[in-house]
Amino acid sequence: MAFGTKGLLGDGNLLDEKGRLIQSGYAFSQVKAYERAAVKRNRLRIKEWDYYYFCDDKRAVALTVADNSYMSLGSVSVLDFEHLTYITKSKIGLFPKGGLRMPRNCSDGDVCFDKSGVRIVFENTLGSRRLIASYKKFDGKNDFSCDIELDPYDGDNITTATPFKKPRQFYYNTKINCLKGKGRLCIGDEQHEFVDGYGGLDWGRGVWPYKNVWYWSSLSTEVDGVPFGLNLGYGFGNSLDTENTVFYDGKAHKLGKVAFDIPFTLGELDYLKPWKISDDDERLQLVFYPIIDRKDRMNALMLSTDQHQVFGKFYGKATLDDGTIVTFTDKIGFAEHVRNKW
């Protein structure tokens, strides 16, 4: 199938012999085979990461392991919805060049970052997932640790193959929502037990342009005892398709384009005022009430980032493929706006 063709991804390799996307589009499983060795761009431009978030109505933890070729990253964030606080700490290594050996797919293969008092491990054997992390002096004095076990998940995901302007730049991405689990996090003597938590995985591999902007929102929860999730995003690449998807009881319901209406105050984006999120087919009506703006800014020589990952509560309704309307209130997830030069 020709490069740029709109529609469902077919089985086979992701890249051709010249390192170009064979097909762009989406699927509800990871049908394309990614191989780092098939990338033909400068190897220092390859970016590979696994990002997990997991939360209940009181706490959230977010864990990132990335091999961005010129730098490795192990990052931990803890959010406290009761006290409206958060801590994010990261450890960086130089020039891993694929040394973290990130898995070729999202369904099997372990991930490990271990550097200078920071250890993050994602155990993943045929769908059985465990998230283990520790960080020395996480809050400046106390150590952090977490151990979370995620239930096996055999439902749909949303997988996209996205081209950029240059022919050997691409992004291959899988989002898995509605990962239910249990576990605990500790900071010093403080401990929080997740009994009925939900989370998701953002699995990404690709060659990105230097400058990029994206919007992304994710929700994983239950509605009347049924697993329900949202994955919404836009802002980068030249794809004819979107990643926008509603998940209900393990099945994916594809949406068209979406828009995030973030309020302005005195000419500046006001991330802590309510957002409106809608789609072009009027199947999604959302209001997002922010709780915490987990912001991160960095400017170092040629690299910079301006991230606003805003956690809050979703209220709204979504229309499934068969016309069923799912209404939900007071459900915790996040929506983010990110600008990078990397």
pLDDT at 5: 39
User: Which string of DSSP letters, residue by residue, matches 70-95?
Assistant: SEEEEEEEEEETTTTEEEEEEEEEE-
Q: For residues 173 and 162, what is the distance between their CA atoms, to the nearest angstrom?
A: 8
Residue 88 scores a pLDDT above 90 = yes
Give the confidence band of 2 by pLDDT, cuts at 50, 70, 90. very low
Entry pTM: 0.95
Please tell me the least confidently modeled range out of 3-7, 94-98, 330-334. 3-7
Share of the chain above pLDDT 90, in %: 89
pLDDT at 6: 55
Q: For residues 258 and 248, what is the distance between their CA atoms, to the nearest angstrom?
A: 19
How high is the mean pLDDT of the chain?
94
Please tell me the least confidently modeled range out of 23-37, 108-122, 296-310. 296-310
Q: For residues 175 and 138, what is the distance between their CA atoms, to the nearest angstrom?
A: 28
Give the confidence band of 303 by pLDDT, cuts at 50, 70, 90. confident
Domain 12-341 has CATH 2.40.370.10: yes
Cross-strand pairs, 144: 135, 187
What are the helix and strand counts (H, E) for the chain? Answer: 0, 25
pLDDT at 301: 65
Q: 3-class secondary structure for 275-339?
A: EEEEECCCCEEEEEEEEEEEEEEEEECCEEEEEEEEEEEEEEEEECCCCCEEEEEEEEEEEEEEE
Residue 298 scores a pLDDT above 80 = no
DSSP 45: G
Q: What average pLDDT does range 301-314 have in this prediction?
A: 89
Q: Which residues contact 296 (CB under 8 A, 6 or more apart)?
A: 88, 305, 306, 307, 309
Q: For residues 308 and 324, what is the distance between their CA atoms, to the nearest angstrom?
A: 33
Give the confidence band of 20 by pLDDT, cuts at 50, 70, 90. very high
User: Which string of DSSP letters, residue by residue, matches 134-190?
Assistant: EETTTTSSS-EEEEEEEPP--S--EEEEEE-SSTT-EEEEEEEEEEEEEEEEEETTE
Best CA proximity match to 242, nearest among 230, 234, 253, 252: 234
Best CA proximity match to 75, nearest among 326, 317, 298: 298
- Where exactly are the structural domains of the chain? 12-341
Q: What is the CA radius of gyration of the chain?
A: 19
Residue 3 scores a pLDDT above 70 = no
Q: For residues 65 and 55, what is the distance between their CA atoms, to the nearest angstrom?
A: 18
pLDDT at 200: 98
State the residue for tokens 């990871």. Answer: 30
Residue 272 scores a pLDDT above 50 = yes
Residue 172 scores a pLDDT above 90 = yes
Contact 38, 58 (CB under 8 A): no
Contact 95, 73 (CB under 8 A): no
pLDDT at 275: 98
